[in-house]
Amino acid sequence: MAAPPDNHHESRPNADELKALLNNSQKPAAEPTTGRGLEFLYDIPLQISVEVGRSKVLLRDLLKIGEGYVIELDKLAGEPLDLYINSRLIAHGEAVKVGDKFGIRLTDVVNTSDHINTIGR
């Protein structure tokens, strides 16, 4: 006999429920139709990366790489950097120095409805 469900944890929503939650969260003061909030998503870790540019190299050139070697990228100096979250383009920005570290100042955020439409693909 199976154990009864644990009442301490809500079941996870399916892709349609998640889309509804995200759509409803963008409307001010709207309660989600599923009766759930987005709080269960807040502690999910996300991988953030910033891309300066890309390049293709031949294996023979890759084997020559060493200290001081320069790889030409496809972006020009001064062009915006690309911000990715979990390998999806989210925004563009510029490099900034924050103390002794680098950061990115967002200059253009990609349309959020594009992200909602790609959920579950």
For residues 37 and 62, give the distance between their C-alpha atoms in angstroms, rounded to a whole number: 49
How confident is the model over 64-79, as a mean pLDDT?
92
Where are the CATH 2.30.330.10 domain residues in the chain? 45-121
Higher-confidence residue: 72 or 32? 72
Cβ within 8 Å of residue 49, ≥6 positions away: 83, 84, 87
What are 73-113's pLDDT values in tens digits? 999 989 999 999 999 999 999 999 999 999 999 999 998 66
In CATH terms, 45-121 corresponds, of 2.60.40.10, 3.40.50.1820, 1.10.10.10, 2.30.330.10, to: 2.30.330.10
pLDDT at 118 over 60: no
For residues 15 and 69, give the distance between their C-alpha atoms in angstroms, rounded to a whole number: 46
In this predicted structure, what is the pLDDT of residue 13?
A: 62
In this predicted structure, what is the pLDDT of residue 39?
A: 86
In this predicted structure, what is the pLDDT of residue 50?
A: 95
* Runs of H (alpha helix) within 1-117: 15-25, 59-62, 112-117
What are 6-41's pLDDT values in tens digits? 444 445 666 677 677 666 655 555 454 555 788 888
Q: Is 109 exposed, middle or buried (0-12, 13-18, 19+ CB in 10 A)?
A: exposed
